[in-house]
Structure 1
Amino acid sequence: MPKTADFVLERLTEWGIHRIYGYPGDGINGFLGALDRANGDPELIQPRHEEMGAFMAGGHAKFTGELGCCLATSGGGAIHLLNGLYDAKLDHQPVVAIVGQQKRFSLGAAYQQEIDPTLLFSDVSEFVQTCMHPAQARHLVDRACKVALSNRTVATIIFPVDVQEEEAQPSPPRVHGAVYSSVGWTKPRVTPPQAELARAAEILNEGSKVAMLVGQGAAEAQDEVVAAAELLGAGVAKTLLGREVLPDDLPYVTGPIGLLGSTASYELMMNADTLFMVGTSFPYAEWLPEEGQCRCVEIDIDGRMIGVRYPTQANLIGDSKDTLQALLPMLQRKEDRSWREKIEHEVDRWWRVLDDRAHESADPVNPQLVAYELSPRLPENAILTTDSGSATNWWAQYLRLGKGMKASLAGTLATMGAGTPYAIAAKFAYPDRPVIALVGDGAFQMNGMNELITVKRYLEKLTAQNPTLIFCVFNNQDLNQVTWEQRAESADPKFMGSQWIPDVPYAEFAKLLGFEGIKVDDPVAMGPAWDRALAADRPVVLEVVVDPEIPPVPPHIKSELGKKSAKAMLKGDPEEAGVMTKGAKQKMHEFTESVRDALPGKHE
């Protein structure tokens, strides 16, 4: 007879979960046996650490829109899931976590590995329950999946070891208290009332300088966003989680916004008279228009988040695609295209600034050049990930995504360590597509190197249809983003005791695993190195020795940040000379391009 664990796995497959990222332990022995009996459906993918499994489950959800699933044993294994699950929760991804627990009669005895997982997971999970009887498993699985999908969040089910092993009860006894649930969920069509749509249209039609800001909530509304931008003559800035919403070859797409943003996005926001936010909760008010500068229309499916980032005059609570489809017939095409022309000019200037910056000399390789040389070489349908760190700046600014490409990172949690497992999950989900991760050496040392072993274990599955799986490591022996934050936010010099990290032969490590290992320490070799990596017949670690003194220059240096950075230098920063010289050169390129724009016959 099938056991409860067998029934749970079968039920999960009915919900479309055919891959579970999990690490073994005796607290989930019942599930391990059931997975063996399941003959690969669902398939167990064994990462090197439970945290990585949770990141992979969240990455799967991000790139597919489907439920992600992870599995961990009781005690320490369950605890390890938390960081990856918080990443999924804060970026609104549907993930179901299955967690082991000690036998029911052991609970309360301070038994080995006994923790209170209900309490532990209550903040990260919108639904968390312990299965205390086999007949309970059916409705717990069904509710967990429904909650995760409906609220785009994390749901957790805890299974004591003895319940896992008990005989399954797919249909509860027909007694008082029994619950009979079913598999099935349909995404609702959510649109605002007509009066609010009319109010939004009135505001957008009256505005002469419309700025749009789109996030991941607009990912399924690409055509509608383009149509709205064309009618309104608007420029469109993108949050980091919204990178894939629009391709970067559209001349009015100003690219990223914020500290990691573009000068084009900054000018767009500072000069607009109307703000149109679609599917985003971008939190940094200093990079949005000043309060009172703009009238604002916002689309967000979560009414709890509407109007909490910028004061709104029209609150469109609804799905981005459905709401835009209802709104578009009410929008009037703006005949005066001078605002649009100004935006396109700023975008063109920004790309020229990036070109100049990437070719600035460095010791040995300018990190901007790494992403600059990849951008024109991006394969069709590429999937791109990155980690949290200074590499995120270059990923955000330099990669010109084409139509159909996917891209993501740990957005709201901004945790280190997500870039590599995201890439692996993307490759499992889309084995026919090229996947490229840009990660810093700090994050790669933290956990990325270990997950190359996971790639080795599942090598044939990951590369049989398309071998392109590249991990580009920025080797600067520095936890570089925090170094810059120490200077700009705390007015402190770089503290070598916390910021320096050991030099590791990343490319050689890749070779030990049978992968392609490429090391670049000469800027002339950067382009050919990408050609070699993209043509490889196996996974690649592309290690680039980059200059830690090249600053991630914000699109506008706030006076307070500038003063603090100067104070940090005066306190005796170990890289003072290089930072000041190279930082000045990087910022100077904006001034140079402005001068070029003012000259007659500037680009002829």
Structure 2
Amino acid sequence: MARTVARVVVDALSELGVRQVFGVVGDALNPLTDALRTTDGMEWVGCRHEEAAAFAASAQSQLTDTLGVCMGTVGPGSVHLLNGLYDAAKSRTPVLAIAGQVPLAELGSDYFQEVDNDALFADVAVFRATLTSPGQLPQMLETAVRTALSRKGVAVLTVPGDLGDQEVPEDRPARFRLSEPVSRPDEEAVAEAARRLDSSERVTLLVGRGARAAREDVLALADRLAAPMVLTLKAKEGFEGEGNPFQVGQTGLIGNPAAASALQDADTLLMLGTDFPYRDWYPQGCTVIQVDTEAAHIGRRVPVDLGLVGDTGATVRDLLRHLAGTADGGARDRSHLDGARRRFEQWRAGQARLADPAHDHGLVGRLRSALDNRDHGIRPEALAAAVDRAAADDAVFTSDTGMATVWLSRFVEMRGARRLIGSYNLGSMANAMPQALGAQCLDRNRQVVAFCGDGGLSMLLGDLMTLRSGKLPVKLVVFDNRRLGMVKLEQEQAGLPEFGTVLDNPDFAAVATAMGITGIRVTDPTELEASVRRAFDTPGPVLLDVLTNPDEVAVPAKPTVEQGWGFAVAKMKEAVRSLGDTDDR
């Protein structure tokens, strides 16, 4: 018996191993969602906003290294997918978006809700096509999926509403199998890199997510070179924890002084699987060697003396074979590594003091509070550290862009089998909750924790109902500082008074309770630890709304005089404006 377009698509995705499809139902999707309804082992996850659906699919793809799938119906439904799909594209993870379309005969007539999907998704998709005949299946679907998987990007397949129920003439199974190529750089280039590393006295590694699969090889290389290892945010997962005696944390605005000095003090920087974008944080005047699978990534952030294009693991193993060691055959000087590690541990100890709930009761804490926490709000550092202590060693963390990510990066350690997902390339708001939704659908017994900014959470607040409806036990930790905190900090560092960042928030815990989700609100620092424990011990989804200090400052790894002066000027302007706003003149 011949199968319909919808049945061919859904059966093929099922055989590929797709278990959830995220989206919002609509007329053009009806044949597809009905096919999902009648397919064992596949689940339609109805979201309240298509953007959330795309974020959820992207999170699943990143966690599994396989295809995530979302759907949006005609016109506005497809448009709403865009931001989440851009996040997938920037994260270089394969996602298939199936977009509805007006009936085939109406294409190009400016029909009700008609949008040119092939044009709409031109910038975000590595593949995009509109199905115009059932006979194009399953080949067009195979091409879409293979392209997404091989190029690690977004494929968009548009299906007009009147094609889903039509029969496919050639009824054969779809075939998606691909073998992953492993590329290696030229042997002479590896040998040259090894010679340069052998002759260097102070090597620092900058390690990114692209090196994650080669963890043990990268650790062996760091040991051989006695090199401190600076991690990008996306490399926290896989390279943090007690098993790595070389890492010194992150650099950049969310980083620390030890990582900054490890970079600045190096005579050779070896970049492994990273396209770290912030030019100001690269060292000056040193030799730079970069390893990346993408030739286009070599040298686009910092001038590179030697570029090695190839798989990180294979390249590192080749380097280890070529390294000769010290010229006299003795042990390599480890003072560069030891100094960086010592500075890192000193910084961590200072951060731990900030995260101590009793910090503000000491002399230093009282003095600091008089300047930046006069209302005695809960320190976000203390909240992040409490969550780190309470969360499981295999928890999946997501984080909203902004200050929530800063606190996670500094106080949550990706030890054990913990995973980390965020909008770390696109930098979107509102990603943490829907990404947690997608992660929890993969395994309802695994702990999933979302670090939510109050601005991000409120932007897609409706999909709290998706958590409730799906009985997804996500723990939402809301850093409720009543601000767009990162924007506030950026304004003040530039010498501008805070403007437009204040949020008139509801009681998020009460909102969650009204939606049928356990809501816990914390306003007293002395209740923080117990409240965090209660949130993690409570079955089902929980929203922990913690009122944190809105004036908390995350000092960059190497603050500049200009930033400090700008901050002081901004604070004076804010004080004058505040005085001018009162009736006491």
TM-score by length of 1: 0.88
**Cross-structure match for 1:222:** 215
Q: How does 1:102-141 map to 2 (within 5 A)?
A: 102-141=102-141
**Cross-structure match for 2:380:** 367
One-letter identity of the residue aligned with 1:53 = A
**Cross-structure match for 1:301:** 293
Shift of 1:553: 1.2
**Cross-structure match for 2:368:** none
1:518 aligns with 2:520: yes
Change (3 A) 1:118 1:573: farther
- Determine helix, strand or coil for the equivalent of 1:379: coil
Q: Distance in 1 between matches of 2:313 and 2:497?
A: 47
Match for 2:337 among 324, 336, 340? 340
Q: How does 1:19-418 map to 2 (within 5 A)?
A: 19-39=20-40, 41-171=41-171, 182-249=175-242, 250-290=244-284, 293-332=285-324, 335-359=332-356, 360-361=359-360, 362=373, 363-418=376-431
Q: Distance in 2 between matches of 1:520 and 1:484?
A: 24
**Cross-structure match for 1:478:** 483
Shift of 1:576: 8.4
Name whichever of 318-327 and 341-350 sits farther off: 318-327
- Determine helix, strand or coil for the equivalent of 1:289: coil
Q: Distance in 1 between matches of 2:324 and 2:532?
A: 45
Q: Report if aligned partners of 2:231, 2:248 keep a CA contact under 8 Å in 1.
A: yes
1:451 aligns with 2:475: no
- Determine helix, strand or coil for the equivalent of 1:162: coil
Deviations 1:300-323 (A, max 9, x none): 111111121122222121122222
Change (3 A) 1:525 1:411: same
**Cross-structure match for 1:431:** 444
Q: Distance in 2 between matches of 1:205 and 1:457?
A: 59
Shift of 1:544: 0.8
One-letter identity of the residue aligned with 2:275 = S
Q: Distance in 1 between matches of 2:162 and 2:185?
A: 49
Change (3 A) 1:262 1:574: farther
Deviations 1:509-555 (A, max 9, x none): 23334433222222222222222222222222111111101112111
One-letter identity of the residue aligned with 1:456 = R
Q: Report if aligned partners of 1:231, 1:332 keep a CA contact under 8 Å in 2.
A: no
Change (3 A) 1:116 1:570: same
Q: How does 1:439-588 map to 2 (within 5 A)?
A: 439-447=452-460, 449-459=461-471, 462-463=472-473, 469-489=474-494, 491-495=495-499, 498-573=500-575
Q: Distance in 2 between matches of 1:572 and 1:413?
A: 31
Q: Distance in 1 between matches of 2:199 and 2:94?
A: 39
- Determine helix, strand or coil for the equivalent of 2:239: coil
Q: Distance in 1 between matches of 2:346 and 2:387?
A: 20
Q: Report if aligned partners of 1:441, 1:476 keep a CA contact under 8 Å in 2.
A: yes
- Determine helix, strand or coil for the equivalent of 2:137: helix
Shift of 1:33: 2.1
One-letter identity of the residue aligned with 1:475 = D
Name whichever of 186-195 and 319-328 sits farther off: 319-328
Q: Distance in 1 between matches of 2:308 and 2:501?
A: 45
Q: Distance in 2 between matches of 1:574 and 1:386?
A: 35
One-letter identity of the residue aligned with 1:562 = G
Deviations 1:267-287 (A, max 9, x none): 111111111111111111111
Q: Report if aligned partners of 1:232, 1:332 keep a CA contact under 8 Å in 2.
A: no
One-letter identity of the residue aligned with 1:169 = P
Q: Distance in 1 between matches of 2:576 and 2:232?
A: 34
One-letter identity of the residue aligned with 1:493 = P
- Determine helix, strand or coil for the equivalent of 1:245: helix
TM-score by length of 2: 0.91
- Determine helix, strand or coil for the equivalent of 1:184: coil
Q: Report if aligned partners of 1:470, 1:533 keep a CA contact under 8 Å in 2.
A: yes
Shift of 1:574: 7.2
One-letter identity of the residue aligned with 1:232 = L
Shift of 1:575: 9.2
- Determine helix, strand or coil for the equivalent of 1:407: strand
- Determine helix, strand or coil for the equivalent of 1:163: coil
Q: Distance in 2 between matches of 1:120 and 1:507?
A: 38
Q: Distance in 2 between matches of 1:319 and 1:28?
A: 40
Q: Distance in 1 between matches of 2:253 and 2:169?
A: 55
Shift of 1:262: 1.2
Name whichever of 315-324 and 52-61 sits farther off: 315-324
Name whichever of 324-333 and 144-153 sits farther off: 324-333
One-letter identity of the residue aligned with 1:410 = S
One-letter identity of the residue aligned with 1:234 = A
Shift of 1:244: 0.2
One-letter identity of the residue aligned with 1:479 = L
One-letter identity of the residue aligned with 1:278 = L
Identity of aligned residues (%): 32
Q: Distance in 1 between matches of 2:52 and 2:140?
A: 25
Q: Report if aligned partners of 1:456, 1:513 keep a CA contact under 8 Å in 2.
A: yes
One-letter identity of the residue aligned with 2:92 = H
Q: Distance in 2 between matches of 1:248 and 1:167?
A: 54
Q: Report if aligned partners of 1:50, 1:72 keep a CA contact under 8 Å in 2.
A: yes
One-letter identity of the residue aligned with 1:317 = V
Equivalent residues, number:
556
**How large is the Cα RMSD of the aligned pairs?**
1.9
Shift of 1:16: 2.6
Change (3 A) 1:547 1:10: same
Q: Distance in 2 between matches of 1:573 and 1:146?
A: 58
Q: Report if aligned partners of 2:97, 2:156 keep a CA contact under 8 Å in 1.
A: yes
Q: Distance in 1 between matches of 2:298 and 2:575?
A: 43
Change (3 A) 1:575 1:259: farther
Q: Report if aligned partners of 1:6, 1:38 keep a CA contact under 8 Å in 2.
A: no
Q: Distance in 1 between matches of 2:576 and 2:352?
A: 29
Shift of 1:499: 1.3
What 5-or-longer segments of structure 1 have no aligned partner? 173-179, 464-468, 578-604
Name whichever of 298-307 and 376-385 sits farther off: 376-385
